[in-house]
Amino acid sequence: MESSTFKDLYLSRNLEKAIKELGFEEPTPIQSKAIPFILEGRDVIGQAQTGTGKTAAFGIPALEMVNSRSKKTQVLVLCPTRELANQVADEIGKLGKYTGTKILAVYGGQNIDRQIKVLKRGVQIVIGTPGRVLDHIERKTLNLNSVQMFVLDEADEMLDMGFREDIESIFASIPEGRQTILFSATMPKPIMKLTKKYQQNPELVKTIHKVVTVPNMEQAYFEVKHHMKPDILCRMIDIHDVKSCLVFCNTKKMVDELVLKLKNRGYLTDGLHGDMKQNQREKVMGSFRNGEIEILVATDVAARGIDVENIEVVFNFDMPQDEESYVHRIGRTGRAGRQGIAFTFVTAREIYKIKNIQKYTRTKIKCRKVPTRSDAEDFKANMLAKRVKETVDEGHLGKYIHWVEKMLDEDCTSMDVAAGLVKIMLSENK
Ligand code: AMP
């Protein structure tokens, strides 16, 4: 039943094209479990948290199911907050880029007249918060008679926020024969009661973890803003004087973008992803093995075939989608009896994932301070001082001393000359 590639899901060409553009290489575990059931028309309970790819797990089959020629609302998604409603609408919008499906997020606090205007024109997938959806039902500005798929996203959150009654009223406005999908991070009793009352023979999908052992290694995470990640990666590579590292991204697109950024900054780098031909991959791997490439940027799929000794650091540039991939990724370092290092970049909304990983692996991941730009500069200046000392010790400085003497004639002190040279050296190596 499980599908390990998007091809196995036999999606329509328009969806496949959008997925490819988004750079998704393979379905996440929750997607490969849930999508086939949802496509079959089954009711599904998905136990999954944010960050696991749950939106696409229901968004992809929802888009497959919608008849774009009919203007009627065919899918309704309920979310606890306006932020989530917007996020879900964005994600489904991107996936549905080539399907011509009309999507709208409706939530409280936004001008209702504008929403009504758009709804009148015909929206096939409506994503909303319970209060506002109910408001539209009562005003008769949202007709749910043709809804075939009803999705409750983050159902536990919605119940915690007191939306039970609103949800029940909305259920009453949707035809009996609809398909009901419920996603929830936790499965407390009230959720089970809800599914019993409204779902028909639901299939429960969750990702079951295999028991794993994590090699003895240094693990740390850094809380970062998304847009700062490339800068921070460079700083860390400089400070730790890394000569061989593997950097994991979640999408092919991110791999390409990051490789370009690193190349532009003068790093020896290349990328690996599933779209590359075997001989291209082997070429990149060969260069990584012999040190021509110091930073290898890869997706999980591409990294599966990597067998390189002496990778000093694994960076999780993007947080892995589930705990198991974290273990697979960091297992790439610290081979041949050495202790490896795994550094993970975490954005504020992903912190909970670090906790889950620690629980799952029963290891400690330390929170470390992001090195500042001046830390990186200090480090480079120290390295430079060391090299200068070595060069002086080696001697043979005759003609260089002559040039320095000429610079001193220009009204500079020897301290000025040295400081100027350090400044040039450091800015050239930025
Ligand atoms: P979600 O759990 O829906 O909040 O998704 C978390 C992030 O994962 C979103 O930015 C998605 O665009 C991304 N995502 C979803 N599916 C995949 C996939 N198969 N491969 C890579 N990234 C994905």
| 145, amino acid identity | N
217 φ, ψ (degrees, to nearest 5)? -160, 165
- Partnered with residue 203 across adjacent β-strands are 44
Count of C-beta atoms within a 10 Å radius of residue 146: 16
pLDDT of residue 212: 57
Tokens (6 digits) for 385: 């001082």
Lowest mean pLDDT among 301-315, 325-339, 404-418: 325-339
**Residue nearest atom 22 in ligand 1 by C-alpha distance:** 24
- First-to-last CA distance in the chain? 51
What lines the ligand 1 site, CB under 6 Å?
A: 24, 27-28, 31, 50-56, 91, 250-251
Whether the Cβ atoms of residue 33 and residue 207 lie closer than 8 Å to each other: yes
Q: What is the pLDDT of residues 23-78, one digit of tens each?
A: 999 999 999 999 999 999 999 999 988 778 999 999 999 999 999 899 999 999 99
Predicted local distance difference test score (pLDDT) of residue 9? 93
Per DSSP, 110 falls in state: S
Distance CA 374, CA 371 (A): 8
Q: Whose CA is nearest to atom 15 of ligand 1?
A: 53
Stretch (H or E) spanning 359: helix 351-361
- Measured CA to CA, the distance from residue 400 to residue 225 in angstroms comes to 45
Output DSSP code: residue 1.
-
- Euclidean distance between CA atoms 9 and 204, whole angstroms: 19
How much distance in Å is there from the Cα of 227 to the middle of ligand 1?
Answer: 18
In ligand 1, the atom with minimum distance to the C-alpha of 321 is: 8
Q: How far apart are CA 118 and CA 178, in angstroms?
A: 24
pLDDT tens-digit map of 277-317: 888 988 999 999 899 999 999 998 888 767 777 889 999 99
Q: Which two tokens stand for residue 207?
A: 């990702």
| Residue located nearest, by CA, to atom 14 of ligand 1 | 53
Residue the block writes with tokens 């024109």: 121
pLDDT attached to residue 334: 61
Count each helix (H run) and each strand (E run) in the chain, helices first.
18, 14
Compute, in angstroms, the gap from residue 237 CA to the centroid of ligand 1: 27
Ligand 1 pocket mutation pick from 3, 11, 28 by most atoms within 8 angstroms of CB: 28
Q: What SS3 class is residue 219? A: strand
pLDDT at 406 over 60: yes
The pLDDT of residue 324: 84
Q: Among candidates 15, 5, 93, 17, which has minimal Cα distance to 55? A: 93
CA distance 271 to 41: 39
Confidence band of 376 (pLDDT split at 50, 70, 90): confident
Exposure of 270 by Cβ count < 10 A (0-12 exposed, 13-18 middle, 19+ buried)?
Answer: buried
Q: Give the mean model confidence (pLDDT) for residues 76-86.
A: 94
What is residue 1's predicted lDDT score, i.e. its pLDDT? 47
Of 44 and 187, the one with more pLDDT: 44
Q: What distance in angstroms lies between residue 93's CA and the mean position of ligand 1's atoms?
A: 13
Query: Where do the domains of the chain lie, and which CATH numbers do they carry?
Result: 6-206 (3.40.50.300), 217-371 (3.40.50.300), 377-428 (no CATH)
Strand (E) positions, 139-294?
149-152, 179-184, 203-206, 217-223, 245-248, 269-272
DSSP reduced 3-state for 220: strand
Q: Look at residues 280, 229, 221 and name the one whose alpha carbon lies nearest to residue 250.
A: 229
Residue 124 contacts residue 102 (beta carbons within 8 Å): yes
Residue 170 is predicted with a pLDDT of 97
User: In this model, does residue 4 exceed pLDDT 70?
Assistant: yes
Integer Cα distance of 20 and 92 in angstroms: 14
User: Is pLDDT above 60 for 148?
Assistant: yes
| pLDDT tens per residue, range 247-274 | 999 999 999 999 999 999 999 999 998 8
Ligand 1 site-directed mutation target among 6, 8, 21, 22, most atoms within 8 Å of CB = 22
